[in-house]
């Protein structure tokens, strides 16, 4: 499992994690598309924004390997702002490659692309 060095571990001051420490010995948690409802808590939206900002700063428009990125956090963005790069895509692989959809990200989370990153780490 690739570890993304320099990627923030979590949203500061919360338990919202962005990366995992080690591979799951019982199997890889699959990436799924989670529905984002309008009544989500502000802190949940802030975590999504911060995670997307970190993805943007770390990878930009280049494809990236899932590696140690948290499947739960990826799932909130998957299928919209984060898309599968490989065809066929294996949602249960640490080696699966993803790519940011910049247009979708800017439409849903414009502040993630405008932030300097200081507020999110």
59-83 per-position pLDDT tens digit: 999 999 999 999 999 999 999 999 9
Read off the DSSP letter of residue 17.
B
Burial status of residue 28 (CB atoms within 10 A of its CB: 0-12, 13-18, 19 or more): middle
Q: For residue range 99-120, what is the model confidence (pLDDT) as tens digits? A: 999 999 999 999 999 864 544 4
CA distance 46 to 11: 9
Q: Model's pTM, two decimal places?
A: 0.89
Torsion of CA 55, 61, 66, 71, to 10 degrees: 50
Read off the DSSP letter of residue 114.
H
Label residue 27 by pLDDT band (50, 70, 90): confident
Contact 99, 89 (CB under 8 A): no
Label residue 121 by pLDDT band (50, 70, 90): very low
pLDDT given at position 77? 97
Label residue 23 by pLDDT band (50, 70, 90): confident
Contact 95, 66 (CB under 8 A): yes
Helix ranges (DSSP H) in 11-117: 42-59, 71-77, 102-108, 110-114
Residue 10 β-bridge partners: 17
């Amino acid at each position: 499992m690739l570890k993304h060095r320099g990627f923030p571990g979590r949203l500061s001051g919360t338990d919202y994690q962005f990366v995992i420490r080690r591979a799951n010995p019982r199997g890889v948690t699959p990436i799924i598309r989670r529905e984002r409802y309008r009544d989500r808590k502000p802190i949940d939206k802030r975590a999504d924004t911060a995670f997307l900002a970190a993805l943007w700063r770390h990878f930009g428009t280049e494809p990236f390997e899932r590696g140690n990125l948290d499947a739960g956090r990826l799932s909130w963005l998957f299928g919209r702002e984060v898309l599968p790069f490989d065809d066929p895509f294996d949602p249960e692989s640490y080696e699966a490659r993803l790519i940011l959809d910049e247009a979708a990200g800017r439409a849903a989370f414009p502040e993630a692309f405008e932030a300097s990153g200081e507020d999110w780490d």
